[in-house]
Amino acid sequence: METVNPPTGGPGLLTDRYELTMLASFIADGSAGRKAVFEAFARRLPEGRRYGIAAGLGRLVELVEGFRFDASEIAWLRREGVVDAATADYLATFRFRGTIEAIPEGDLYFPGTPVLTVSGTLGECIVLETLVLSVLNHDSAIASTAARMVTAAGGRPEDGGRAVIEMGSRRTHEEAAVATARAAYLAGFASTSNLAAGYRHGIPTVGTAAHAFTLAHDSELAAFANQVEAHGTGTTLLVDTYDIPTGIRNAVTAAAAHGATGPGAIRIDSGDLAEEAAKARALLDDLGATSTRITVTSDLDEYVITALQDAPIDGYGAGTRVATGSGHPTAGMVYKLVAIEQEDGTMRPVAKKARDKASVGGRKRVYRSTRDGILAAEVHVVAGPPPDGFAPAQVTVVDHGTVVHRPALVETRQACASALASLPAEARSVTDGVAWLTPVVLTPATQGA
């Protein structure tokens, strides 16, 4: 029965019940301590996508570090019949002491790429499944979408492109909104409207006024005058509450009262954005506001942004479509057992054989090669050394329970830019296509061993 203001619980409860019922069975038969290896990967990319951006690792590491169960949580699990006494004792002292290797956050992934590899005991690996997938699936979907929008905008502002602002907070869960802003910034968005994301992650925040601000005043001019008085002439004025040309004239008048030729920017949130932007630019120039920028919003995605490239637009605000993955709200990753310890201490490869969901068993090492700065190939080696000219693509993130890789968001943002730059222009295109790379799995059999 739901209670008023229920306790939220810690990271340990951010999991599905069957993870703990499986754990209870493993404890009962004595197999919870067997060594195991799990891999998180996407069997395929969303239809038409050519690459994916691995995101969420920074958030996931912190959650794994704090993944434990306090006395009240364990008591609740017992009352609900989720775990027995032996499992409750196991959870009381639980700490993840295994090893996690991963594709660095901001880097690329393709169909089958082991984005995350978790090694440890069967018990400690199994309970991480839901958490791993919920973080990686959400954040990677957002980052992959955001990267396409940034590409459509001509790249990041520092590289000559037009700024894209993340404005999706109202279209998703309040905590998902913060994760969305983080993933979008990692992929190249310039800023966010979400203050929690700015506070927690150091992302630049922007925002001025909504239509309600204008409607709350006796006139549009009074609203703009108020805003300029409060925030200066560099502010952005929303000019489409009533009539766009009149709104632009009022914006220029409000700025002129403070000695400026025009406001810092105007925002248009309705109509044919290309047509309205062209008219707005002409009118602003006629009024002498040649330095006033034009920002557009209104259900923008990578396709709309691409269509607007010839319009005199200086920046874009993306909300619903970035927060929902532009039609692909999940990366479709799965978390699969690929190797399990046998009684003699050796690791036995295991793999699912179901139709359309078959995989290759064995822990895979990921290697990539480049040619003239362009990513050329990816191989997954089950045993033995990589082919000549290939370098490791994964890094160790957690080493026997200790976090050893925790780059700042600004670093992963730059890593993402570098990763995208390693793709040829056709692979970065937002038009539909197939994955740029199809990784090759090298097993002892395929290597002639």
pLDDT digits (tens, 9 = 90+) for 401-414: 999 999 999 999 99
Residue whose token pair is 């790429």? 113
Judged by DSSP in three states, 226 sits in: helix
Residue 359 pLDDT: 80
pLDDT digits (tens, 9 = 90+) for 36-74: 999 999 999 999 999 999 999 999 999 999 999 999 999
Q: What single letter denotes the amino acid at residue 437?
A: L
Could you tell me if 316 and 295 are in contact, meaning their C-beta atoms sit under 8 angstroms apart? yes
Q: What single letter denotes the amino acid at residue 54?
A: A
pLDDT digits (tens, 9 = 90+) for 216-250: 999 999 999 999 999 999 999 999 999 999 999 99
d(CA 89, CA 94): 9
Could you tell me if 318 and 142 are in contact, meaning their C-beta atoms sit under 8 angstroms apart? no
d(CA 206, CA 183): 17
Which tokens sit at 278?
């062209």
Q: With a cut of 90, say whether residue 447 has pLDDT above it.
A: no
- By the 10 Å C-beta count (0-12 exposed, 13-18 middle, 19+ buried), 414 is classed as middle
Q: With a cut of 50, say whether residue 1 has pLDDT above it.
A: no
Residue 34 pLDDT: 98
- The residue ranges of every structural domain in the chain are 1-206+299-449, 208-297
Judged by DSSP in three states, 160 sits in: coil
Can you give 258-313 as a three-state secondary structure string?
CCCCCCCEEEECCCCHHHHHHHHHHHHHHCCCCCCEEEECCCCCHHHHHHCCCCCC
pLDDT digits (tens, 9 = 90+) for 12-41: 999 999 999 999 999 999 999 999 999 999
Residue 73 pLDDT: 96
Q: With a cut of 50, say whether residue 355 has pLDDT above it.
A: yes
Residue whose token pair is 């190249």? 188
Q: Provide the CATH number for the domain formed by 1-206+299-449 in this structure.
A: 3.20.140.10
Which tokens sit at 63?
């959650």
Model pTM? Answer: 0.94
Residue 7 pLDDT: 61
Q: With a cut of 60, say whether residue 448 has pLDDT above it.
A: no
Supply the mean pLDDT for the chain.
95
Q: What single letter denotes the amino acid at residue 41?
A: F
The CA R_g of the chain, rounded to the nearest whole Å, is 26
Q: With a cut of 50, say whether residue 449 has pLDDT above it.
A: no
Q: Provide the CATH number for the domain formed by 208-297 in this structure.
A: 3.20.20.70
Q: With a cut of 80, say whether residue 170 has pLDDT above it.
A: yes
Is beta strand 191-192 parallel, antiparallel or unpaired with respect to 163-166? parallel
d(CA 374, CA 111): 18
Could you tell me if 138 and 291 are in contact, meaning their C-beta atoms sit under 8 angstroms apart? no
- Check for a shared fold between 1-206+299-449 and 208-297: no
Q: With a cut of 90, say whether residue 438 has pLDDT above it.
A: yes
Residue 156 pLDDT: 94
Residue 107 pLDDT: 98
Residue 411 pLDDT: 97
Q: Categorize the per-residue pLDDT at 254 as very low, low, confident or very high, splitting at 50, 70 and 90.
A: very high
d(CA 147, CA 139): 12
